[in-house]
A = this chain, B = another copy of it.
Amino acid sequence: MGAVAGHLYERLAEEFAGAIERGALRPGERLPSVRALSSKRGVSPATVVQAYAALEHRGLIEPRARSGYYVRRRLQVSIAVPEVRETARKPRRVSVASAIHDLFDAIADPSVVPIGAACVSPELLPIERLNRLLSAVSRELGSLGGTYGAAEGWLPLRRQLARRGVEAGIALSANDVVVTNGALQALELALRAVTRPGDIVAVESPTYFGILQLVENLGLRAVTIPCHGESGLDLAALAAALERHPLRACVAVPSFNNPSGACLPEEGRIALLQLLSRYDVPLIEDDLYGDLHHRGPRPRPVKAFDSHGRVLYCTSISKTLAPGYRIGWIAGGRYHDRIVQLKRGADMHTAIPLQAALSEFLAGGGYERHLRVLRARLATQVERLRTAVALRFPAGTRVSNPSGGFVLWVELPEHVDSLELQRAALANRISVAPGVLFGAGDEFRHYVRLSAGHPWSERTERAVATLADLVRVPTALAV
């Protein structure tokens, strides 16, 4: 319905779009000339011209002077930069919808197409090797887990994590690291270390809903700072907020923001740190996706430029190795001691056997090689999903073009309510993350986040087509 329209030129355009999507026509490849195709298919040249114009309009092909049409090397659809709205700058209590429940519930259901939660498919992760190491350490270390451990975490693991930090450009030792239950707990400990209930913090807009939930659960207030799809955090807006509000922290995902995919350039990172220094405001840096750059070198964390311990660096292995192990870490700079205290007060320490297994895994090598393979696969999967959305979704749709991570941030036509889309999609056994979750208000009501964490399949392709239909036909959302 809607996917193949009635006009001849539309069917022709659809056919070429499919060829591009499947890779039968590759980026940079030349399309048949108008005359050749017209004669081969027995259609009028005007029909071919109309079809090519439609494809061009959708950003799939481009004309080159005196040379015909070519498949675009990179799709030209791009994310709309959220408008800087005055209301978005005022501090307010963040209220995040309960739709998160549905998002996570869907993970366990294999009948649901998993483009909702930001999960990498287990088949892309060396989880079996990690589990074998867990099996070995729990067999070998007799009373492992039989007593309380250090709140900071298992020392051999902290050494490995510090080494990874060093490789990313951060000067660290094991004593700077606290092992946490995933990046989420790292973020919570960071927020608690630098705020009290009622305080105001700056968060990106859009941003990961877990951060907004933390702000809400800790009784904090958020000032939202636009995070542009291309250039990342809007430093001018942050400067204005710092001038206007007594901010206690700035929480940012500088590398491949979830959901926007934005990556702050290096000069922006340095400027960000200088700006925050001027107001003596700590930066809580979520680097969860930093290892998942699609091309070029790994972006250096802001923490790499921090010589004053002002950055609380948070990350985890949940996107690259084992989400179910719930292991992350934080390098809290000058707030380290307070973080250790808070970690002990929260749950004593992270479970020991898992720390021991991860430590063995990282010490054993091979993680970097795995990351190289994973990055390439995720880059491909993101591109395929992006192409499919560009091909299927109606005019007015915009899609982010991330250079890392594995989620796409999709702006839909204004009439779409992403919560209704989530409901209707779930009724069709498809999980999506409604855009409204990623904003402090409802500024992303008509956005949706799609995850490319799973290998591309016909099932995903059909799911994208179904979503496109749901988006296109407003009544379909009234399910």
Q: Does A388 contact B (CB under 8 A)?
A: no
**Bound form: Cα–Cα A357–B137 in Å:** 14
A353:B354 contact, CB within 8 angstroms:
yes
Q: Does A341 contact B (CB under 8 A)?
A: yes
A125:B146 contact, CB within 8 angstroms:
yes
Residues of B within 8 Å of A138, CB to CB, are 131-132, 134-135, 138, 357
- Can you report 16 residue pairs joining A to B where beta carbons are below 8 Å apart? A105-B150, A117-B148, A119-B147, A119-B148, A135-B139, A145-B325, A180-B347, A181-B350, A182-B348, A185-B347, A197-B197, A217-B342, A219-B219, A324-B351, A326-B350, A326-B351
Q: Which one of A150, A151, A196, A323 has the highest number of Cβ atoms from chain B below 10 Å of its Cβ?
A: A323
| Residue from B128, B181, B192, B325 in contact with A217 in the complex, judged by beta carbons closer than 8 Å | B192
Give the residue name and chain of the B residue nearest to A151 (CB). B104
Q: Does A108 contact B (CB under 8 A)?
A: yes
Q: Does A382 contact B (CB under 8 A)?
A: no
Which of chain A's residues 223-238 have a Cβ closer than 8 Å to chain B? none
A345:B117 contact, CB within 8 angstroms:
no
Tell me how far the C-beta of A438 lies from the nearest C-beta in chain B, rounded to whole angstroms.
15
B341:A98 contact, CB within 8 angstroms:
yes
| Residue from B127, B143, B213, B350 in contact with A345 in the complex, judged by beta carbons closer than 8 Å | B213
A108:B197 contact, CB within 8 angstroms:
no
Tell me how far the C-beta of A30 lies from the nearest C-beta in chain B, rounded to whole angstroms.
43
Give the residue name and chain of the B residue nearest to A148 (CB). B323
A148:B353 contact, CB within 8 angstroms:
no
Give the residue name and chain of the B residue nearest to A143 (CB). B122
B119:A145 contact, CB within 8 angstroms:
no
A347:B324 contact, CB within 8 angstroms:
no
The A interface is mostly helix, strand or loop, or mixed, namely helix
Tell me how far the C-beta of A361 lies from the nearest C-beta in chain B, rounded to whole angstroms.
12
| Residue from B104, B131, B342 in contact with A145 in the complex, judged by beta carbons closer than 8 Å | B131
Residues of B within 8 Å of A394, CB to CB, are none
Residues of B within 8 Å of A184, CB to CB, are 345-348
A324:B352 contact, CB within 8 angstroms:
yes
Q: Does A214 contact B (CB under 8 A)?
A: yes
Q: Using an 8 Å CB-CB cutoff, how does the interface string of A114-131 with B read, 1 for contact, 0 for none?
A: 000101001101011011
> Considering only CB atoms and an 8 Å cut-off, how many residues of chain A contact the other chain?
70
B117:A145 contact, CB within 8 angstroms:
no
**Bound form: Cα–Cα A344–B188 in Å:** 12
Given A128-B142, A128-B143, A196 and B182 touching (CB < 8 A)?
no
**Bound form: Cα–Cα A240–B219 in Å:** 30
Given A122-B143, A147-B119, A181 and B347 touching (CB < 8 A)?
yes
Residues of B within 8 Å of A130, CB to CB, are 145
Tell me how far the C-beta of A297 lies from the nearest C-beta in chain B, rounded to whole angstroms.
28
Residues of B within 8 Å of A180, CB to CB, are 347
Given A104-B344, A344-B100, A344-B104, A145 and B185 touching (CB < 8 A)?
no
Quick one: copies of this chain in the complex?
Answer: 2
**Bound form: Cα–Cα A324–B119 in Å:** 28
Which of chain A's residues 172-205 have a Cβ closer than 8 Å to chain B? 180-182, 184-185, 188, 192, 196-198
16 new A-B pairs (CB below 8 Å) besides A134-B134, A146-B324, A181-B181? Answer: A101-B344, A104-B150, A104-B344, A107-B148, A131-B143, A131-B144, A131-B145, A144-B324, A145-B322, A148-B324, A181-B348, A184-B346, A197-B197, A213-B345, A324-B351, A327-B351
Q: Does A210 contact B (CB under 8 A)?
A: yes
Q: Does A349 contact B (CB under 8 A)?
A: yes
**Bound form: Cα–Cα A357–B138 in Å:** 11
Tell me how far the C-beta of A120 lies from the nearest C-beta in chain B, rounded to whole angstroms.
9
Tell me how far the C-beta of A425 lies from the nearest C-beta in chain B, rounded to whole angstroms.
19
**Bound form: Cα–Cα A141–B198 in Å:** 45
A146:B348 contact, CB within 8 angstroms:
no
**Bound form: Cα–Cα A431–B151 in Å:** 17
Residues of B within 8 Å of A347, CB to CB, are 180-182, 184-185, 188, 326
Tell me how far the C-beta of A190 lies from the nearest C-beta in chain B, rounded to whole angstroms.
13
Tell me how far the C-beta of A203 lies from the nearest C-beta in chain B, rounded to whole angstroms.
15
Q: Does A265 contact B (CB under 8 A)?
A: no
Residues of B within 8 Å of A131, CB to CB, are 138-139, 141-145, 353
Given A347-B181, A354-B351, A324 and B145 touching (CB < 8 A)?
yes
**Bound form: Cα–Cα A198–B198 in Å:** 10
Q: Does A136 contact B (CB under 8 A)?
A: yes
Residues of B within 8 Å of A127, CB to CB, are 142-146
Q: Does A149 contact B (CB under 8 A)?
A: yes
